[in-house]
Structure 1
Amino acid sequence: MSRRRPACLVSLLLLLFLAAACRSAPPVRRPARSVILISIDSLRADHVGCYGYQKPTTPALDRFAAGAVRFANAYAVSSWTLPSHASMFTGLYEDAHLAFANNSRMDDDNVTLAEAFQAAGYETAAIVCAPFLRREYNIQQGFASYDQEIAETRRPTIRKVKTSRQVTDKALAILKERAASPRPFFLFVHYWDVHYDYNPPDEYTAMFDPDYRGAIDGLNISKRQDLQPGMDPRDLAHLIALYDGEIRYTDDHLAELLAFIDGSTLAADTAVVITADHGDEFLEHGSTGHTFTCYEELVRIPLLIRAPGLVVRTPVVDAPIENVDLYPTLLSLAGLPPVKRPIQGYDLRPLIEKGEAPPRQELYCETRMGRRYGWHGQKGIWRSLSRLDGKKIHEFRGHKTHTSEYELYDLKNDPRELTNLVELNAELLAKIKSELYRRHRASLELAGDLNLQDARQKKGGDAGKDDALRDQLKGLGYVQ
């Protein structure tokens, strides 16, 4: 009897352990939803068909939008590639993630969207084309596969090469492999051809302006002296037509990628999100290209979300949102819990499903690569804040003068920002200036709380020391 007691006790303890283990095991649930994020560089919203553009630039996007949620007032939080994508990937504004200059490098202490997916057991992959998305900027954190072959193209080829065919082929190769795997994945696909220079393939060059016989082409945008306010409107219209040709060329290749998704097993459990990092300007405020300001033509972007099983209250959402919201929203679409560290974006699912808008009172934008009056103007920092009542302030602070200039607009009555009210309402200007500074300070404080800093301050943190990369950026006009 006494010899059998130890064996009985061991058996009893084993049973209790197994019972406790069963109680603590997570409940069995359906596989997580995969996520594809597609960013079309430099695509402004008002040149997309489903956003009201009258020319047939985006038939594939328009078809996709018919089965998706379209955000009518989506905004980028910066007007150029690096900080805008960094905000998508971190859920932070430029003042917080601090990837804001040609030679900036994202701090390792950022927890990126790809890292969050990877920690949840996802396969992660990216295909990028822009020099500012190369590994030198440390934006690849969390991607197990990071294809930057196209982004390494040297000048002058980088101005002329067409990449949408390559991007689509690379993405299809990944998706065909993923379709055969039970493991969820996060894929980031970056299309580049809409970015200046505007030199679409021959069949797209005359697509939107077949009768033009002038001398303007879409090359060397950053160095041209003939692209100025007051130029011949016919020449300007042709430049815009070339931009539209680049959009259509990209859209035609995107169509193939979307068709594959829709015709494969991926369609049943994959969320697809399509957006842009910023727009381009065509002398609306005296310049071309992007990067320098935060006017509407640069920061209003398309955002389309389609996810199987997503409850949609209305297919068109009018509430203003920012691309910093993509970080928590994509995790939510995948069925993953929110991150435990502070972020500045909001999950958009309550807005999609219940009409509950994010509790923000204003929209914020910043570019520390700002310029006053175009490519050859004074350098400085450009910040803007738009209140939900339509009042919008711009601040430009010159690097040399250390003084600020302000502009004030009423977007509800002046959506193109043509009538500066700064001299007419000193009280409103003072109030909205304080709101702008409050947002700026809040981001800097959050960066400190998260132990983030401009990674150039760390050993090996200066992306601009890479000669090949600097050569690329010179080819695009970003550095002299």
Structure 2
Amino acid sequence: MSDCNGRDDESHSTVRNVVFVVLDTARAKSVDTQLMPTLTGLAADGTAFENAFATAPWTLPSHASVFTGTYPSEHGTHGGHTYLDDDLRTLPEAFADAGFETIGVSNNTWITEEFGFDRGFDDLRKGWQYIQSDADMGAVVRGEDLREKLAATRTRLFDGNPLVNAANVLYSELLQPAGDDGADRATDWIADWLVGRDDERPFFLFCNLIEPHVEYDPPREYAERFLPEGTSYEDATAIRQDPRAYDCEDYDLTDREFAMLRGLYRAELAYVDHQLGQLRAALEAAGEWEDTLFVVCGDHGEHVGEHGFFGHQYNLYDTLLHVPLVAHGGPFTDGGRRHDLVQLLDLPATLLETAGIDDPDLREQWSSRSLHPASSDDARDAIFAEYVAPQPSIDRLEARFGEIPERVRAFDRRLRAVRTAEYKYVRGDDGFERLHDVRTDPLERTDISDDEPQRVRALRRRLEERFEPLETTDAPEEGASADADVEMRAGTKERLADLGYL
């Protein structure tokens, strides 16, 4: 039974609020107690999901799956269609209609109103801005020297309110903490909001913290803890970080340089873990911690030299799909470590059941299964992932670099993966396929598809039972229609390029 706000009177829930934190680009293989004591402490007191997987290897489609409970080919949000369609029901909408105050703080440019992610939020803030504005002054911040900064200021200052734009530039240039990409400001704002709110409604709070994302530029004191011996902070931060240029062989990185980059990446995770602790402290200070379901995950992982890749595009290795997932509060307190296969798209069903909400519209569209300990949903015996369209497209790579390597040209394909507890099978619409025994080959180094044709056929059938055959499905071409790909603002394009997406 549900009341007028959609909340379940007979629910086994014991939480009032829900806080959902995404650590952008956090991969499961890099999480340990030394690196992330806050997250591992939450896991020790709550529930850790050891086998949690994203549905896609990058931000936009992964977040769309979490917000809608659907796979990328179902929600249709990907490199060839960069907008979350209006006819999809979202998790924030379900909380809003159930009577919750809904607040979002995003530090990733993809997760904004520009790409359809604001629906259901009372307020969705851009964490990289000192004063909220549609104008993005990131081009000024990214200027290599004073001349570039002044030129960008002249171009952008009067795009909207010049006083607001000037304040955002001054904050980014002079006041933002060194090595911080918005997490410190986000947690400070949330702390102030918690103390100042006089709303009697429960709240749903979403927060994306982007620090582990390229460019890795952690505060010096964090970097020096994790860099290889004999490496200086100056040497490490001087390394070029341009994943798409690396893919296209525009420059090379040595093993030593990748080791330094991995040190910087680990330092970013350590820093964002500290900010996670600040967020928990803010909830405790506001007296909300005991009544809150607190969920933390990575939206996808990262390659820092593994499999010959830098960044998180063009493939479906577990380095990109296996993510941390921890829940604390209510039925997840003292829940131990769970080893069953779960997907990030299981979070909508989980969060709503734990909060005592039934949303028929969202339930009707989703492929989500609740992870609540008392749920009647069946456990998964397999997880699925998709890479619908290259991001950036091969055309964009050619426009930037001219002739690109055949290795990269081969990435112009659609990929799907199915993973059981024993095997992982990846198939492309160009006939590409790989099979791995993940028990004996967890790093996915040895393709055994030729040795196991019967298992390949069985797992291919699993993919085709879950989705339509790859050969009959065409990913939308970039710019194929007016609504296929959002025409981004210039500032947005620059910020996404800075993050390695364009």
Scaled by the length of structure 1, the TM-score of the pair is 0.81
Counterpart for residue 13 of structure 1: none
**Once the 2 structures are TM-superposed, how far is the Cα of residue 277 of structure 1 from its aligned partner?**
0.2
Q: Shift in Å at residue 382 of structure 1?
A: 4.2
The CA deviation string for residues 214-236 of structure 1, in whole angstroms up to 9 with x for no partner, is: 95545433255499899543322
Q: Tell me which amino acid in the other structure corresponds to 2:496.
A: L
| From 249, 253, 275, the counterpart of 2:297 | 275
Quote the Cα distance in structure 1 between the aligned partners of 2:270 and 2:407: 27
Counterparts of 1:375-454 in structure 2 under 5 Å?
376-397=408-429, 403-441=430-468
Q: How does 1:329-340 map to 2 (within 5 A)?
A: 329-340=350-361
Report the Cα distance in structure 2 between the residues aligned to 1:478 and 1:219, rounded to whole angstroms.
15
**Distance change (3 Å), C-alpha of 1:147 and 1:428:** same
Match of 1:195 among 193, 213, 226: 213
Letter of the 1:197 partner, please give it: E
Q: In the alignment, what sits opposite 1:35?
A: 18
Give the % identical residues: 26
* Residue number in structure 1 paired with 2:85: 107
Distance 1:104 1:410 in 2: 34
Deviations, residues 350-376 of structure 1 (Å, cap 9, x unaligned): xx348x773433211112244899994
For 1:273 and 1:320, the matched residues in 2 are separated by 17
The structure-2 alpha-carbon separation of the partners of 1:27 and 1:360, relative to structure 1 and needing over 3 Å to count, comes to closer
For the 8 Å contact 1:124–1:144, the answer to whether it is kept is yes
Deviations 1:256-299 (A, max 9, x none): 11112234320231111111100101222110110221111111
- Superposition pairs of residues 293-308 of structure 1, within 5 angstroms: 293-308=315-330
Query: Are the counterparts in 2 of residues 112 and 141 from structure 1 also a CA contact under 8 Å?
Result: yes
Letter in 1 for 2:411: K
Q: Which of residues 215, 235, 243 in structure 2 aligns to 1:222?
A: 243
1:329 and 1:348 in contact (8 A); partners too: yes
Seen in structure 2, the aligned counterparts of structure 1 residues 293 and 223 have a Cα distance that, compared at 3 Å, is closer
> What is residue 398 of structure 2 aligned with on the other side?
none
Gaps of 5+ in 1: 1-25, 51-55, 398-402, 448-452
Q: How many equivalent pairs are there?
A: 433
User: Does the Cα contact within 8 Å between 2:415 and 2:428 map onto a contact in 1?
Assistant: yes
8 Å contact from structure 2 (residues 83, 486) kept in 1: yes
> Which amino acid in 2 is paired with 1:335?
G
Aligned residue type for 1:37: F
Structure 1 residues 154 and 478, CA, compared in 2 at 3 Å: closer, same or farther? Answer: same
Kept in 1: contact 2:436–2:447 (CA 8 A): yes
Tell me how far 1:65 sits from its aligned partner. 1.9
Instruction: Name structure 2 gaps, 5 residues minimum.
Output: 1-7, 130-135, 144-178, 395-404
CA–CA distance in structure 1, aligned partners of residues 450 and 382 of structure 2: 22
1:475 aligns with 2:502: no
1:150-176 superposed Cα distances (whole Å, 9 cap, x missing partner) = 274624746986221111112212222
What is the SS of the residue equivalent to 1:429?
helix
When residues 331 and 158 of structure 1 are mapped into structure 2, their CA distance, relative to the original with a 3 A threshold, is farther
Of residues 337, 358, 365 in structure 1, which corresponds to 2:385?
365
Match of 1:285 among 307, 328, 338: 307
Higher relative contact order (CA 8 A, sep 6+): 2
Distance change >3 Å, CA 460–CA 338, structure 1 → 2: closer
Q: 1:118: which partner in 2?
A: 96
Question: Could you tell me how far apart the structure 2 residues matched to 1:252 and 1:191 are?
Answer: 12
Partner of 1:174: 193
**What is the TM-score normalised by the length of structure 2?**
0.78
Is 1:343 matched with 2:362? no
CA contact (8 A) 2:246 2:310 kept: no
Using the alignment, how far apart are the partners of 1:254 and 1:311 within structure 2? 18
Letter in 2 for 1:84: S
Between Structure 1 and Structure 2, whose CA radius of gyration is higher?
A: 1
Give the 3 Å change call, closer, same or farther, for CA 108–297 of structure 1 in structure 2: same
Q: Shift of residue 118 of structure 1?
A: 0.6
| Letter of the structure 1 residue corresponding to residue 119 of structure 2 | Q
State the alpha-carbon separation in 2 of the partners of residues 444 and 192 from structure 1: 36
CA distance in 2, matches of 1:189, 1:443: 34
Distance in 1 (alpha carbons) for counterparts of 2:125 and 2:478: 23
Code of the residue aligned with 1:293 in structure 2: it is N
CA contact (8 A) 2:59 2:299 kept: yes
The residue aligned with 1:6 is none
1:108-257 alignment to 2 at 5 Å? 108-150=86-128, 152=136, 154-155=138-139, 157=141, 162-178=181-197, 180-209=198-227, 210-213=229-232, 215-217=235-237, 219-225=240-246, 232-257=254-279
Compared CA separation, residues 332 and 411, structure 1 to 2 (3 A): same
CA distance in 1, matches of 2:460, 2:10: 52
Query: Whole-Å Cα distance in 2 between the matches of residues 94 and 166 of structure 1?
Result: 31
1:58 alignment partner, one of 18, 36, 49? 36
2:51 paired residue among 65, 73, 79: 73
Give 1:72 deviation, angstroms. 0.7
Question: What's the CA shift for 1:144?
Answer: 1.1
Cα distance in 2, alignment partners of residues 375 and 201 from structure 1: 35
Name the SS of the counterpart of 1:127 in structure 2. strand
Tell me: CA distance 1:345–1:374, structure 2 relative to 1, closer, same or farther (3 Å): farther
Q: Please say if residues 116 and 339 of structure 1, whose CA atoms lie closer than 8 Å, have aligned partners that are also in contact.
A: no
Aligned CA RMSD, in angstroms, stands at: 3.4
SS in 2 for 1:319: coil
Aligned to 1:95: 73
Partner of 2:176: none
